[in-house]
Amino acid sequence: QSALTQPASVSGSPGQSITISCTGTSSNVGAYDSVSWYQQHPGKAPKLIIFEVSNRPSGVSDRFSGSKSDNTASLTISGLQAEDEADYYCSSYTGIPTPYVFGTGTKVTVL
């Protein structure tokens, strides 16, 4: 399966809100609610920040929120902070035979 499509970069000023889109197809994002989002700081492993479209793991800031409409999922970061500057990846379950696909990744810059 082809990678999910994300914008290459998104930027915002501290305190602002930004939204990252993740566009797939009716075979992945549109078919399942198993959409997750990952934050990756330079030189670090990815970290799960959203699962099942809109749920946050324990310990993840409520400034992160997720949603989905048809074949497009979205991640919104509210009250942007310097520490949010990182790469963000979406991912969707795709069923058998290869069950997962990642997005192309989005670099978030805090101005």
Q: Which residues sit at the interface with another protein, rule CB under 8 A?
A: 3, 32-34, 36, 38, 45-48, 51-52, 55, 57, 89, 91, 93, 96-105
Min dist. Cβ of residue 72 to another protein (A): 18
Min dist. Cβ of residue 15 to another protein (A): 29
Q: Which residues of 31-69 are buried (b: 16+ CB within 10 A; e: fewer)?
A: ebebbbbbbeeeeeebeebbbebbebeeebeeebbbebe
Nearer to another protein, 14 or 100 (CB): 100
User: Which residues are paired to 73 by β-bridges?
Assistant: 22, 68
Nearer to another protein, 96 or 111 (CB): 96
Nearer to another protein, 13 or 96 (CB): 96
Min dist. Cβ of residue 81 to another protein (A): 23
CA distances from 7 to 21, 45, 77 (A): 7, 21, 15
User: What type of residue sits at position 74?
Assistant: S
Min dist. Cβ of residue 94 to another protein (A): 10
Nearer to another protein, 71 or 106 (CB): 106
Q: Which residue has the tokens 């797939």?
A: 24
CA distance 2 to 23: 11
